[in-house]
Amino acid sequence: MRSVILAALLGAAFAAQAQLYRWTDAQGRVHVTDTPPPPSAKNVRSRSTDAAPAAGAGEPYALQLAVKNHPVKLYTAPDCAPCGTARALLNARGVPFSEVSVIDERQAEELKKVAGSLSVPSILVGSSVQKGFEQGMYHALLDAAGYPRTGILPARQQAEPKPAPPPSAAAPAAQGDDEDAAPATGPYAPR
């Protein structure tokens, strides 16, 4: 009976790990561990489990639950002051979030589908959307989703994503007439 309980406890412990190693020692004994084997190990195999990443293991349960049930996604644009303020609020509150910098058509379509417009910043908390930045509404959405209030979690330092240069900026077009080139637009376009 004790061995069944021990096996169940070991199985539960191993299931919670993000990486497992199976290896054979010099005496031919097979080991299964969550730490890398020694250099003398033979037949080393590793596999990742479907468990949550180890980074979340030390986070408070309320935060883990909120992230699982109501993930936060922030839609921003480069050089957008309210976007920076929204990011700072999430960082100060310690909320893990993903950020989409809307710089191309694909991202614009995603934002339009989520928020119904191209308004930035827009925040998606679970299935709730807030267009624009309004501090009270952001806090209300996060409170309703179960995220701990400001000051409970350590502040985060997530910075504005650095957008990749568009293909046209990476390889400037040759001078002259090109039938396939897109027409120039903007305040300095030829008229």
What is the pLDDT, as a whole number, of residue 115? 95
Model confidence at 97: pLDDT above 90: yes
Task: Quick: pLDDT tens for 141-158.
Answer: 999 999 999 988 999 999
Task: Quick: pLDDT tens for 30-66.
Answer: 877 777 888 888 888 887 765 444 445 578 899 999 9
Four-way CATH pick for 55-162: 3.40.190.10, 1.10.3720.10, 3.30.1360.120, 3.40.30.10 = 3.40.30.10
Degrees, nearest 5: CA angle 136-141-145: 145
Predicted TM-score (pTM) of this structure = 0.58
The CA distance from 24 to 145, in Å, is: 47
What is the pLDDT, as a whole number, of residue 163? 62
The CA distance from 5 to 84, in Å, is: 52
Q: Where are the domains of the chain?
A: 2-51, 55-162
